[in-house]
Amino acid sequence: MPDNDSPVSEKEWDLEVRPHHAIVTVRIVAAVLAAIFIFGGFVLRHGSTGVNFRVSDQIGLMLFGLLLAGGVLLLTRPRVRVGKRGVVVRNIVGDTEFAWKDIRGISFPDKKSWARLELAHDEYVPMMAIRSNDKMRAAAAMDKFRELGAKYSAQNQD
């Protein structure tokens, strides 16, 4: 069922890119962090450390671990959407939309971890969703992006 509150329908986007390897790695790191802090919370009161830990300290340590894991999971948010209206880039927080008239291209600078959207006036926006460690997925995303860019830029000039 479509979301009527959403200003943009899913069919508007011809391409949606998310990082693959980074998401897997981040999920593993978040799970390990949560497990370590939860385990630490359980064993905190046991043993003779000379420090008086209470149940509230244990719960606090566990909650801190869960908050830390949640913070790490923010790194799974990057996304790039490409469609007729333009390009929407979401890195970690917030979406930013760019019209085709403002976009000059896409590039992957040497020794950089992610692609960048080249804008007018020598500006650029990093696109954390297209990452170098995704190799062929990143190359395919770049090709499709360029194909759509050529298509929609030509349409907007008419």
pLDDT of residue 50: 64
Q: Cβ(81)–Cβ(141) under 8 Å?
A: no
Q: What is the pLDDT of residue 10?
A: 55
Per-residue pLDDT of the chain (158 residues; tens, 9 = 90+): 444 444 545 578 889 999 999 999 999 999 999 999 999 888 877 666 666 778 888 899 999 999 999 999 999 999 999 998 899 999 988 899 999 899 998 998 888 889 999 998 889 999 999 998 888 999 999 999 999 989 888 776 65
Q: SS3 for 104-153, per residue?
A: EEEECCCCCCEEEEEECCCEEEEEEEEEHHHCHHHHHHHHHHHHHHHHHH
Query: What was the pLDDT predicted at 118?
Result: 92
pLDDT score of 1: 40
